[in-house]
Amino acid sequence: MTSELLQQVRAIDPASGADRTADVWIENGTVRAIEPTFATADGELPAGTIIRDVRGCVLAPGLTDLYSHSGEPGDDSVETLASLQAAAAAGGFTRVAILPDTDPCLDRPEVIATVRDRAEGGATRLLIWGALTSSRGGDRLSEMTELAAAGVVGLSDGAPIEDLLLLRRQLEYAQPLGLPLAIWPYSTRLTGGGTAREGVDSLRFGLVGDPAMSETALLAAAIECVAELGVPVHFMRVSTARGVELIDRAKQQGLDITASTAWTHLLLSTRGLRRYDPNFRLAPPLGTPRDRDALIDAVQSGTIDAIAIDHRPIAYEDKTVAFAEAPPGTIGLELALPLLWQEFVEPGRWSPLELWRALSLSPARCLGHEPPRLQAEAPAELVLFEPNRTWTVSPETLKSRSCNTPWLGRQIAGRVVQTYRHGL
């Protein structure tokens, strides 16, 4: 039996809108009580209850990551399933969904079963996206019905689907399965080989520009497909102000869509490219300051439903090359919560409830899952977070096997004290 009392913690539950200071009693993986002050006299708590004074800490539902990348199977050197789960737990994530870009690809039931077995009992719950197309080739549909029966969380290639006829077929075949369908609206044919979002900064820094229409052209076409077929779709990696406008208009028209953006695009913009740091090389590329402002406002308003981490581990030697030659991607499971808190909650731009809605409540709902809750008699799927604890980002302090991040070597504020995954 385990029993602990967290005294005078800031208890947050975005589903109910609760944000209060309270004593929280957790026993055997269940939240037993949330009281302004919990009596600790003899007989009130089981013998052996651990009492912790956690003033200044936040206790809230565990976070859900909509999509990230695992090295295993295929490249265990950059990330194993175990290290991915450990990094997720260290960042407060109790659920993390991986995209099918592994080797072998997650496009067959037997591969899904192998990955699930390997991840069983890990530090956080692993969810699996099944591939939309065979081997993620973008030209032939996968066996969606078999993948659904294998228990995938949803269907997505995690890569652009530029064949609009194929996209229409995907929507038609996926409709009766009742699974989330995640589409990345991005045209590699329109990028022109660009490595930075087209604008003043790309010109100033001498980087080939990637126009906003590489996102918006495919997004507009996909929205037309949704309007015609009535199939719910999740649009991933929205990164431009114009993309936000299209999402907002589609929602106002009553289309059944949700959308997410990557955490990096809320914190960084093309202004940071002056350093030519290859860790700023992302896909889609970082937006202009106007794009960033639009994304920030859209997350707060709910136009963009969720913040995704899109954790992509990359080997040091592969990332330490010229900016334009670097493979796009960055890690983030251990960094997103503290950096977003310091950027938006600490100065009062967002409330803690708004941040938790975008990192916990809405991502779970985008997947069609019941979100974790902080309420009496609910499973203790929670994160205990200390906003003011400082630490230095280094290979020694990270649980991930990779350290491709712009924050490497920097001291940041905010650290997860404990992640509870009971009841999963």
Q: What is the pLDDT of residue 38?
A: 84
Residue 18 CA: distances (Å) to CA of 26, 39, 394, 396 = 18, 22, 35, 36
Q: Spot the catalytic one: 117, 139, 310, 318.
A: 310
Residue type at 352 in one-letter notation:
P
Is residue 243 classed as helix, strand or coil in its secondary structure?
helix
pTM given for the model: 0.97
The CA distances from residue 347 to 343, 352, 397, in Å, are 7, 11, 26
Strand 209-210 to strand 154-155: parallel, antiparallel, or no bridges (unpaired)? unpaired
User: Which residue stretches of 333-385 are H helix?
Assistant: 336-340, 352-356, 362-366
Nearest to 162 by CA among 182, 142, 140, 188: 188
Confidence at residue 424, expressed as pLDDT on a 0 to 100 scale: 45
> Quick one: which of 168, 264, 180, 272 has its CA closest to 224?
168
Report the candidate in 347, 358, 341, 179 with the shortest Cα–Cα distance to residue 261: 358
DSSP string over 143-164? -HHHHHHTT-SEE--SSB---H
- Between CA 242 and CA 123 the distance in angstroms is 39
Q: Give all strands of the β-sheet with 125-130 in edge-to-edge order.
A: 63-68, 93-98, 125-130, 154-155
> Are β-strands 58-61 and 381-392 bridged in parallel, bridged antiparallel, or unpaired?
antiparallel
Instruction: Specify which residues 5 forms β-bridges with.
Output: 25, 51
Architecture (CATH level 2) of domain 62-366: Alpha-Beta Barrel (3.20)
* pLDDT score recorded for residue 12: 98
DSSP string, 255-271: --EEEEEETHHHH--GG
Per-residue pLDDT at 421: 87
394 neighbors 87 (Cβ within 8 angstroms): no
Fold of 3-59+377-421: Urease, subunit C; domain 1 (2.30.40)
pLDDT for the residue numbered 42 = 54
Domain boundaries, the chain: 3-59+377-421, 62-366
Instruction: Reply yes or no on whether 310 is catalytic.
Output: yes
Instruction: Return the pLDDT at 4.
Output: 95
Q: Which residue has the tokens 């796009």?
A: 328
Successive 10-residue mean pLDDT values, the chain, 424 residues: 93 98 96 89 79 97 98 96 98 98 97 96 96 92 96 96 91 92 96 96 97 97 95 97 98 97 98 96 98 98 98 97 97 98 98 98 97 97 98 98 98 98 62
Closest CA to 357 of 292, 421, 309, 307: 307
